[in-house]
Amino acid sequence: MNDPLSPAHAAALDAADPLRSLRDEFLFPRHQGGDQAYFVGNSLGLQPRGAQAMVQEVMDLWARIAVEGHFTGPTQWMNYHRLVRDALAGVVGAQPLEVVAMNTLSVNLHLMMVSFYRPTRERPAILMEAGAFPTDRHAVEAQIRFHGFDPATDLVEVPPGADGNVSMQALEQALAEHGKRVALVLWPGVQYRTGQAFDLDAVTRLARAQGARIGFDLAHSVGNVPLALHDVAPDFAVWCHYKYLNSGPGAVAGCFVHERHARDATLPRFAGWWGHEQSTRFRMAPEFVPEAGAEGWQLSNPPVLGLAPLRASLALFEQAGMEALRRKSLRLTGHLEALVQSRLSNVLQIITPAEPEQRGCQLSLRVAGGREQGRSLFDYLQSVGVLGDWREPDVIRIAPTPMYNRYQDVQRFVDEVERWAHR
């Protein structure tokens, strides 16, 4: 009972978890009469029980009053994006003016680069990590070409070290070497494959010291680690809501533009009518006057059905608070780490950094013996209702989310890996 790695201890930790009731707010995929051990909240977060009612409410209004739904009641569709704004600002540590839910991540990344990647002959480059998520690299290459520059010379990629992680020294070195040519630094908050978390404040200071703009892709950070975007003060940030934000497949994404750009009408942007100043939008005049803040980058009227589940999800984040979620997350992932190290060290190698400050909830685990062993383990886990995800050639990602995972889920994962290894 006193063994901190025993099943009894995991049960005791769950019983003492102040956030344990949040699990009941989610719908779990089932496996043989029980809940799956679901560790894929970094890919598609589970459905909050409240999401369906939010969607249904829109469907009912549409059926009952149709176009009047745009102007009727507290959830009027015209301002539907505002229903999530304050809670979203809370999750990312921003002022409400600085955030908007719109479009999807890749779209927002392009829109932000239109405004904040302004290459010149002297300063044409974008600096990013090597091994970035493909959409980020595609978008960056496309932007460089769009401006008539050449990715072969003007895309600078910072390589990972021997351990697979990108060190701050490597970033510093790249900026020292190329900084004068860099127009924009695009950096992840948490690296999707390795789970490495970066010190966004340090990255921002390094970029700005070189006179470069700085933008973050926070797809794996939002809802995973606490953020303080206003204080860190990058130029922009983008993220999606279907991972840790639990808002459903293809959910409407998020975007941050720092307050210092809130009223800058000289920034080039790909404008649409919904980014027009709200108070005069329906005069339908030909000139574009941007709304202050991130909302000024909206194109279309809000996709109300796509936004609806986000309301249910954000209510849970407001209830729990990012600080409390992070406290649990550090313990939950620490528990997984301790179990893997003590019982599975000949099967799994943790490639995520060991320092808690350099990771979120996810541990990326390299399977000993290579791809074939890895696939065998992954398939076995799936067959017993333990769901992680697979990254070629030999990595299983396990993301115990503090919102709905338990210490006993972690225990189950470790027990099943051990059973597989001794099969």
Cα gap 172→203, rounded to integer Å = 9
Q: Is 128 exposed, middle or buried (0-12, 13-18, 19+ CB in 10 A)?
A: buried
217 is in an annotated binding site: yes
Q: Pick the closer one to ligand PLP by CB: 135 or 382.
A: 135
Q: Which C-beta is closer to ligand PLP: that of 92 or that of 105?
A: 105
Taking the complex as a whole, the smallest distance from the CB of residue 242 to ligand PLP amounts, in Å, to: 7
Q: Any known ligand binding at 242?
A: yes
**What is the SS3 assignment for 91?**
helix
Helix (H) / strand (E) element for 31: namely strand 30-31
The answer for residues whose C-beta is within 8 angstroms of residue 119's C-beta and 6 or more apart is 125, 144, 147, 149, 154, 183
The least distance separating ligand PLP from the CB of residue 109, rounded to whole angstroms, comes to 8
Query: Under DSSP, is residue 268 helix (H, G, I), strand (E, B) or coil?
Result: coil
Nearest to ligand PLP of 136, 154 (CB atom): 136
Cα–Cα distances (Å) from 411 to 53, 69, 84, 359, 365, in that order, read 34, 48, 36, 20, 16
Name the residue nearer to ligand PLP (CB basis): 98 or 217. Answer: 217
CB of 76 to ligand PLP, least distance (A): 27
C-beta closer to ligand PLP: residue 255 or 386 = 255
3-state secondary structure of 20: helix
134 is in an annotated binding site: yes
Residue 380 marked as a ligand binder: no
Interface residues with ligand PLP (CB under 6 A) are 104-106, 133, 135-136, 188, 192, 217, 219-220, 240
178 a known binding residue?
Answer: no
**Complete DSSP assignment for 311-376:** HHHHHHHHHH-HHHHHHHHHHHHHHHHHHHHHH-TTTEEE-S-SSGGGB-S-EEEEETT-HHHHHH
Phi, psi for 311 (deg, rounded to 5): -65, -45
Closest distance of CB 188 from ligand PLP, Å = 6
**DSSP structural state of residue 18:** T
Rounded Cα gap, residues 405 and 331, in angstroms: 12
CB 52 → ligand PLP: shortest distance, Å? Answer: 22
What is the smallest separation between the CB atom of 122 and ligand PLP, expressed in angstroms? 29
194 is in an annotated binding site: no
Nearer to ligand PLP, 219 or 414 (CB): 219
Instruction: Output the smallest distance, CB 134 to ligand PLP, in A.
Output: 8
Nearest to 163 by CA among 347, 374, 354, 357: 354
Residue number, 217 or 394, with CB nearest to ligand PLP: 217
Q: Which is nearer to ligand PLP, 110 or 406 (CB)?
A: 110
Q: Write out the two tokens for 174.
A: 């790249």
* Of 331, 363, 362, 369, residue with least CA distance to 14: 331
| Cβ-based nearer residue to ligand PLP, 13 or 257 | 257
Here the tokens at position 384 are 């017993």
Q: Whole-number minimum distance, CB 150 to ligand PLP, in Å?
A: 24
Q: Establish whether 117 is an annotated binding residue.
A: no
- Distance of alpha carbon 204 from alpha carbon 187, whole angstroms: 9
User: Does 378 carry a binding-site annotation?
Assistant: no
Report helix, strand or coil for 85. Answer: helix
Neighbouring CB atoms inside 10 A of 345's CB total: 11
Minimum distance, C-beta of residue 132 to ligand PLP, in the bound complex (Å): 7
| 136 labelled binding-site residue | yes
**Numbered residues of the known binding site for pyridoxal 5'-phosphate:** 105-106, 133-136, 217, 220, 242, 273, 301
**Numbered residues of the known binding site:** 105-106, 133-136, 217, 220, 242, 273, 301
